Chains A and B, each alone.
Chain A
């Protein structure tokens, strides 16, 4: 029903898609797989009329179509569930759905009629949405269902789902898959974008893999394995689970007790929470985003006020302390918002590496920057952390997400912290880079692994035995890295489980707020 032929899309300095062929048959789920930056989103934006293609043609039902705007795409029955939901938070579900459509009442809105049709679609596909609710009142999973309804309301026969599972709990993913199967039973064609291999294998009919803008393979799901897909994505074999030795936790370095914190809307975001992280261990915080992760990290880092409770870092009480004091106590912080809080896009690599230590005597000569020392230092970190940058004078904003994250990690770990708080350390980072950052976190914990980095490690981490609090929405990451997993739900720790014995389903239920069985 859909054919894209020879699509090429260039951006200044980059070829995002090169002669990509892609097609969809009715009733199938065709997955588009690839690392971040492989060109999946670009290809879909071309299909949805958001980007013009430089070369190539798109055929719908055998006839060539021109897609110059989302309107054209909608007209040809193409719908898209965007990764970043395209919903206006201050409008209701019905208003969002009817936006851009002709009203049956002329220039007046016809929300009653729209609501009725939404109810019909909801019950038909098990989507369960109240048309009169405002978007800001809805959970992430509900918002996604609104996105699907929006596309169905417009009679989308081809539905693009751009990383729909990234923000969902495992149970919500199951529910989504049930809905998606109903859609394919109706003869609709789905394009599923993901880099979670087990989901791809569970849902797909066919899989097309993109790497660096080119198709590297197209295979039916039968016979595909996680390893074979990962190899196609990255171009070499990948370890899906990082190696690590069992942890040998020491004394408590980060101690949070009875902490209560308010969120931006003035509601309780962290609710009487207590946690301990010991030196030499990684405590993973799992949970769906918006359950207090950001507030927890910010409060530890001194960026948000605690209502009550206390936080100690390395034995020093830092509750309510200035971020500088908290850092002095031995905290390093890798924030969730890499580009907004972690690095300054307009600053170049060495400036970003020096953000914390620019007042240090090591880098000053008579009060002015000592560029010799700075260059040596920055160059050293760039090499140690394998930052792929043309030079240390390149602005951080022009690096890839993974390389920016490596710059931030380099800066934060260079101070040999007692405690490291890392929020979403690999979100939006390519698997190649993610693999590296994982390795680094483990090195930090235990100096004796991974011969490849021994030299850098010996110098850099000679005092290291850091207590690491890792906040992540990626269950694979939490299971792969953490020594203990604490599940955060509505600002409370539901339970702390051992990743070696706990199952994903068990953690998924905790993430959804289901109390653990006590026996």
Chain B
């Protein structure tokens, strides 16, 4: 047993945890914006799936991974717009409408894949970019500084999100609208405008997260995300609606996934139990959420549509 936990294994697990965390992190950051403004989008997983397919298909056709990422972001933007129309303008029940978006994304991504691609063809993946000097530090370099550019960008998005939420007028409007939209409205802040903006941010980040997932794996298949979008929503709660918390959650889940994968590869977990082990992230999600429940307050207006003068 003890020889399994060598430094080499640990380094591999951490490096892999960081890679696995990134799609969750991006989708979760986007959802954080939405929820801070009072809109719950349960359709994240569906948007990720369509983003994943679009990204995959764009790379397949152009051979350029960045075109693929852009395609994922753009399709996510459109789906974010659709979510905003449903949740903000039509004031639909947010707990239900998101499920519709999820099912749409799940079905549509598979349909398009069957019609346009059929048999899976591997695509190029993001090239590894070693950070000069830092990547040559023993162990540390391999864990943190030998990744692709999107991974560095995703982690750079965390302080950026914090800055936007806490230091800009736009961020202040988001916080106000999510907490007490009536008050924001009486001061001339457009509640609908702010919520549309956060849905567009959330949608494009979810689409981008899907594209990152597909292009990192170099493949697409039915239900590629395997529920990652739902974990991303759970991480927003886990992270108490704060970018740093969300990042901690994404890394934790990335780590658990990486560990389970590694243990499977090393056949520490017997083959016939591997399905059981695959449930670990889900079980840990439930445990963590049960623990975190009620410790932090959700934005007061979360899931509540706004109507003036009511």
> Chain A residues near B256 (CB, 8 Å)?
none
Contact between chains at A99 and B179 (CB < 8 Å) = no
Pick from A50, A70, A89: contact of B187, CB under 8 Å: A70
How close is B125's CB to chain A, nearest CB, in angstroms? 36
Interface size bracket, A side: 20 to 34
Contact between chains at B168 and A99 (CB < 8 Å) = no
Contact between chains at B180 and A89 (CB < 8 Å) = yes
| A73-109 interface code vs B (CB 8 A; 1 in, 0 out) | 0100000101001111111000110111101000111
> Chain A residues near B179 (CB, 8 Å)?
88-91
Contact between chains at B187 and A100 (CB < 8 Å) = yes
Task: In the complex, identify which listed stretch (B144-152, B169-177, B266-274) lies at the interface while the others stay far away.
Answer: B169-177
| A42-69 interface code vs B (CB 8 A; 1 in, 0 out) | 0001001011000000000000000001
Contact between chains at A108 and B309 (CB < 8 Å) = no
> Chain A residues near B183 (CB, 8 Å)?
85-88, 96, 99
Known interface pairs A88-B183, A90-B179; A70-B188 also in contact (CB < 8 Å): yes
Contact between chains at A100 and B175 (CB < 8 Å) = no
Contact between chains at A45 and B186 (CB < 8 Å) = no
| CB contact list, B162-201 vs A, under 8 A | 167-173, 175-176, 179-180, 182-189
The chain B residue sitting closest to A102, CB to CB, is B169
A150 at the interface (CB under 8 A from B): yes
The chain B residue sitting closest to A80, CB to CB, is B186
Contact between chains at B186 and A48 (CB < 8 Å) = yes
| A100-136 interface code vs B (CB 8 A; 1 in, 0 out) | 1101000111000000000000000000000000000
The chain B residue sitting closest to A107, CB to CB, is B168
How close is B280's CB to chain A, nearest CB, in angstroms? 34
A96 to B297, CA, bound (A): 19
| B42-84 interface code vs A (CB 8 A; 1 in, 0 out) | 0000000000000000000000000000000000000000000
A103 to B185, CA, bound (A): 17
A74 to B171, CA, bound (A): 22
> Chain A residues near B171 (CB, 8 Å)?
109
> Chain A residues near B180 (CB, 8 Å)?
86-89
The chain B residue sitting closest to A103, CB to CB, is B169
B115 at the interface (CB under 8 A from A): no
B295 at the interface (CB under 8 A from A): no
A71 at the interface (CB under 8 A from B): yes
- How many contacts between A and B, using CB within 8 angstroms? 73
> Chain A residues near B168 (CB, 8 Å)?
107-109
A50 to B309, CA, bound (A): 6
> Chain B residues near A74 (CB, 8 Å)?
187-188
A82 to B309, CA, bound (A): 12
How close is A137's CB to chain B, nearest CB, in angstroms? 15
A150 to B186, CA, bound (A): 11
A193 to B97, CA, bound (A): 42
> Chain A residues near B175 (CB, 8 Å)?
88, 90-91
Q: Which 10 A-B pairs have the closest CB atoms?
A: A100-B187, A71-B188, A86-B183, A100-B188, A100-B189, A88-B180, A86-B186, A50-B309, A88-B176, A70-B186
Using a CB–CB distance below 8 Å, which chain A residues touch chain B? 45, 48, 50-51, 69-71, 74, 80, 82, 85-91, 95-96, 98-101, 103, 107-109, 150
Using a CB–CB distance below 8 Å, which chain B residues touch chain A? 167-173, 175-176, 179-180, 182-189, 297, 300, 308-309
A–B pairs, 29, beta carbons within 8 Å: A48-B186, A50-B308, A51-B309, A69-B188, A70-B186, A70-B188, A71-B188, A74-B188, A86-B182, A86-B187, A87-B180, A87-B183, A88-B180, A88-B183, A89-B179, A89-B300, A91-B176, A95-B172, A96-B176, A96-B183, A98-B172, A99-B173, A99-B184, A99-B189, A100-B187, A100-B189, A107-B168, A107-B169, A109-B172
